[in-house]
């Protein structure tokens, strides 16, 4: 139920803000929230490049966490919490889980990148994005979400493509979830 309420808020809040508070037409809202399609080749290559940037970011973050753990003796890598939640959700209803990922990531990109980044900036939108991922209860997840969220925010600001962000983020999450389920 919490996920449904959050989903509806993330979907409806931008529409309410732009239509009721800013008194914009539906056409203006569509133009602001759904930037112009840039063609198959550019969108696909951009999505793959973003996926690569997210993977590279993950490797850097994982290496940094490992260095901090080795240098300080403090355990930060608690991703087993995330693995447990993902495994439980997937095994309880795989089709619903996949649907939530596919639709939920689109709504995330629409809200955080297409709506928030132009209005509050990359840092604040990424902080809110990170806060909404706190439910996993994992320090490593929060660190990763923050830095990968910055990559997503920067990519959107630079390329103005909701589709590139969505597909790059989707590919990254599919790989991450598959690794959690396999390993």
Q: Flag whether pLDDT at 46 surpasses 70.
A: yes
Q: What pLDDT sits at residue 122?
A: 98
In a domain, residue 34? The reply is no
Q: What pLDDT sits at residue 1?
A: 62
Q: 160: helix, coil or strand? A: coil
Q: In angstroms, rounded to a whole number, what is the distance separating the alpha carbons of residues 5 and 52?
A: 32
Q: Where are the alpha helices (DSSP H) in 23-161?
A: 26-33, 40-72, 80-92, 94-108, 117-120, 122-131, 139-159
In a domain, residue 84? The reply is yes
In a domain, residue 97? The reply is yes
138: phi > 0 → left, psi -120 to 50 → alpha, else beta; which?
A: beta
The whole-number average pLDDT for the span 144-166 is: 97
Range of the structural domain that residue 93 is part of: 41-182
The whole-number average pLDDT for the span 10-17 is: 95
The whole-number average pLDDT for the span 117-146 is: 95
Q: Flag whether pLDDT at 2 surpasses 80.
A: no
Q: In angstroms, rounded to a whole number, what is the distance separating the alpha carbons of residues 114 and 108?
A: 9
Token pair in block for residue 81: 């919490």
The whole-number average pLDDT for the span 77-91 is: 91
Q: 34: helix, coil or strand? A: coil
In a domain, residue 129? The reply is yes
In a domain, residue 12? The reply is no
Residue whose C-alpha is closest to residue 18's, from 140, 115, 124, 100:
115
Q: What pLDDT sits at residue 149?
A: 98
Q: pLDDT-based confidence at 113, cuts 50/70/90?
A: very high
In a domain, residue 10? The reply is no
Q: Flag whether pLDDT at 20 surpasses 90.
A: yes
Token pair in block for residue 50: 């973003």
| CA 7 to each of CA 28, 35, 93: distance values in angstroms, whole numbers, following the listed order | 23, 21, 18
Q: Flag whether pLDDT at 183 surpasses 90.
A: no
Kindly report the number of other CB atoms within 10 A of residue 119's CB atom: 12
In a domain, residue 22? The reply is no
Give yes or no for a contact between 133 and 82, defined as CB atoms under 8 angstroms apart.
Answer: no
Q: What pLDDT sits at residue 135?
A: 87
Q: What total of structural domains would you count in the chain?
A: 1
Q: In angstroms, rounded to a whole number, what is the distance separating the alpha carbons of residues 176 and 170?
A: 10
């Amino acid at each position: 139920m919490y996920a449904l309420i959050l989903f509806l808020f993330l979907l409806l809040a931008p529409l309410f803000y732009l239509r009721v508070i800013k008194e914009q037409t539906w056409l203006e809202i569509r133009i602001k929230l759904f930037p112009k399609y840039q063609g198959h080749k550019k969108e696909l290559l951009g999505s793959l490049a973003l996926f690569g940037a997210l993977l590279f970011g993950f490797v850097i973050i994982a290496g940094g966490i490992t260095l901090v753990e080795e240098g300080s003796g403090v355990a930060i890598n608690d991703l087993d919490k995330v693995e447990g939640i993902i495994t439980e959700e997937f095994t309880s209803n795989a089709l619903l889980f996949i649907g939530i990922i596919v639709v939920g990531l689109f709504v995330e990109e629409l809200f955080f990148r297409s709506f928030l980044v132009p209005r509050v900036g990359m840092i604040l939108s990424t902080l809110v994005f990170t806060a909404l991922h706190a439910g996993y209860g994992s320090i490593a997840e929060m660190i990763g979400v923050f830095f990968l969220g910055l990559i997503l925010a920067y990519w959107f600001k630079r390329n103005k493509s909701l589709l590139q962000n969505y597909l790059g983020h989707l590919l990254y999450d599919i790989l991450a979830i598959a690794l959690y389920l396999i390993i």
